[in-house]
Amino acid sequence: MTAELNTLIVAGGEWKREWERIRLYLKRKGIRVYSVPGPKEAQRLLRTEHMNIVLSEFDLNGQGSLAFLRRLKAVNPQVEVIFLSGKVPLSKAIEAMKTGAYDFYEFPVNPRFLLAVMEKAIEKQALFVEKVELERKVKERFNFGKIIGRSKAMQHVIEIVGSVAPKNVNILLSGETGTGKEMIANAIHYNSARASRPFVKVNCAAFNEGVLESELFGHEKGAFTGAISKRVGRFELSNGGTIFLDEIGDVSPGTQVKLLRVLQEKEFERVGGNETIKVDVRVIAATNHDLKKLIDQGRFRDDLYYRLNVVRIELPPLRERREDIPLLVSSFINKLNEEKAYGIKGITKEAMQVLFSYRWPGNVRELENALESAMALAEAGMIEAKYLPSFLLMPQTQDGERLSIPRGLTLYEMEKEIIRQALERTGGNKSQASKLLGIGLRTLQRKVKEL
């Protein structure tokens, strides 16, 4: 670690012999040491050289040193300043620490001890840099600009997300499996006032009724066979933050009653317990079911539905936003290259035509999986059609009819040709053509107008 230290010594007072001892010891340890006689010279040097640590003599008045410290921190908040001096009133040392000094010591100082202090300061810097980088990555990952889609449908989703994220309301995300509901939930949480608080995810379909209750609300020791200790539930863990309830349509009626109480009263008891626990949690729920149909069938409570459905965001299937496929492909190639070093430079036009022709029943998730499979097999840095999963190589419409796509077309021309063929086969009937293509009638009407 010591080899990473760039140290600036700012010393012009009476302790020249002590400073020289420190300087020689640090150099012997392989540390790059710069020495200047005062703050002005230090500031000039700092404009051209990066410093991890500044060792500075503290003047007895203190105000010049404190002003120097403030200027250093304004230029580089990460730099750590350690003051050394002769006898100084405790109040001055405390003031220096409050202003931002890492530490304060009186001469004489053992150079070995001082080096240990400097190394701890470097550890603090590393943690700070790691924290900043993590925050940057989280913000970048869940920034609205990272929600990929130039289609009108996705632009509408992004607009709603941007509007509701800062507001403390419950949200219901609906859409087919693989459309990106969890990604939207992440974006909402990390762009809200609760971003620094917990974000807890629960896949409700992964547990039976009894286990799900324990997961959500926790249980007391001895509440049931196998409950050998107390368990804190997900609602309690997410207090102050957000809980994401995925596949909410699969929750049993009994658990729905308890969920309704949490939403209404913001309180619950652990399974087998009597203590009422208060929580402040924002709920984002997601489903691929039609909850209205489940309500009509008596399988979902309408009062719970309205508590969850304060704002509803419908995510469109990939087949209804095919113009987003090139953007998604580019994003996934970059992501997978970064994660697994595939070294893929791009995708051929023929392979892109195959992706554009497929209906994608598994939506964006299926597209990502197909690309990763192709990237693992691809050679020469390009994804060719022959590397794509075999099920993609014979694109079909919703009704199983194949559409012929000539080679060499641009993406614009491909879309136009697919729509032309569908209208030709249905005698110009747009309603039937939209069903043939697996898209909504309004989407087809808009496409016809645009193309």
Domains in the chain, start-ordered, CATH in brackets?
2-137 (3.40.50.2300), 144-316 (3.40.50.300), 318-395 (1.10.8.60), 411-451 (1.10.10.60)
- For residue 62, the model assigns a pLDDT of 56
Q: Is residue 135's pLDDT more than 60? A: no
- Interval 273-281 mean pLDDT: 94
Mean pLDDT of the chain: 84
Short-list 71, 28, 76, CA closest to 53: 76
Listed residue (356, 366, 376) closest to 416, CA to CA: 356
Give the pTM.
0.59
The confidence score (pLDDT) of residue 143 equals 57
pLDDT digit string, tens, across residues 67-86: 888 888 887 777 889 988 88
Average pLDDT over every residue of 158-182: 93
- For tokens 């492909």, what's the residue? 329
User: Under DSSP, is residue 231 helix (H, G, I), strand (E, B) or coil?
Assistant: strand
| pLDDT beyond 70 at 183 | yes
User: Does pLDDT of 298 surpass 90?
Assistant: yes
- 189 has a pLDDT exceeding 90: yes
| Region 292-298 average pLDDT | 95
Q: What is the pLDDT of residues 93-103, one digit of tens each?
A: 888 888 888 88
Instruction: Tell me the pLDDT tens digit for each residue of 217-265.
Output: 999 988 888 778 888 999 999 999 999 999 999 999 999 999 999 999 9
For the chain, percent of residues with pLDDT exceeding 90: 38
pLDDT tens digit sequence for 314-352:
999 999 999 999 989 998 998 899 888 888 988 998 899
Q: Which two tokens stand for residue 122?
A: 């470097």
Best-predicted range by mean pLDDT (89-103, 165-179, 436-450):
165-179
Helix (H) / strand (E) element for 32: namely strand 32-36
Q: Where does 288-429 have alpha helices with state H?
A: 291-296, 302-308, 325-340, 349-357, 363-377, 411-425
pLDDT at 31 over 70: yes
Pairwise CA distance, residues 9 & 55, whole Å: 5
How buried is residue 374: exposed, middle or buried, by Cβ count under 10 Å (0-12/13-18/19+)?
Answer: buried
Query: Backbone dihedral region of 246: left (phi > 0), alpha (psi from -120 to 50 degrees) or beta?
Result: beta
* Better-predicted residue by pLDDT, 444 or 382: 382
Place 295 in a pLDDT band, splitting at 50, 70 and 90: very high
Give the mean pLDDT of 400-413.
60
| Model confidence at 360: pLDDT above 70 | yes
pLDDT (0 to 100) of residue 3: 41
What CA–CA distance (Å, rounded) separates 443 from 333?
28
Residue 145: pLDDT band by 50, 70, 90 thresholds? Answer: low
